[in-house]
Amino acid sequence: MERGDRPWGYYLVLHEEDGHKVKQIVVRPGCRLSLQRHRRRAEHWQVVRGEAAVTRGKEILRLLPGGSIDIPLGALHRVESVGVENLVVIEIQMGEYLGEDDIERFEDDYGRAETASATPPRK
């Protein structure tokens, strides 16, 4: 199983085939991923443990275990662990390209945004 360690936690690739990839994402309490978008894939997130605050476009939604959300291709999004335990999310990626380099970051708590002045595109 491929593991990717990140400043916010880690992910495990559970399954990968042409057109889709399944990951387990573990986010430590109080941590969050970058505000980002993907140009070549859509995602579906299912919360299995913990409490998530999910940004999708201009929406911010709270998800508990059993909750899920679709992230359309090109949508700005982020997930944050807002509970007291690790947030565990199953992510299903769908698209023509599923590489880790298909991430365009706009805000990042860990200094990984592509430019300091990057701003989300207007719709």
pTM: 0.86
Answer whether residue 28 shows pLDDT above 70. Answer: yes
Mean pLDDT (whole number) for 60-80: 97
Q: pLDDT: is 115 or 79 the higher one? A: 79
Q: Which CATH class is domain 2-107?
A: mainly beta
pLDDT in tens, 10-21: 999 999 999 999
Mean pLDDT (whole number) for 35-62: 97
What is the C-alpha separation between 79 and 19, in angstroms, rounded? 23
Closest to 113 (Cα-Cα) out of 122, 104, 121: 104
Closest to 50 (Cα-Cα) out of 82, 22, 77: 82
Closest to 11 (Cα-Cα) out of 105, 91, 106, 99: 91
In this prediction, what percent of the chain has a pLDDT beyond 70? 92
Confidence of residue 114 (pLDDT cuts 50, 70, 90): low
* Boundaries of every domain in the chain: 2-107
Answer whether residue 118 shows pLDDT above 90. Answer: no
In this prediction, what percent of the chain has a pLDDT beyond 90? 81
Instruction: Count CB atoms within 10 A of the CB of residue 88.
Output: 18
The pLDDT mean for the chain works out to 91
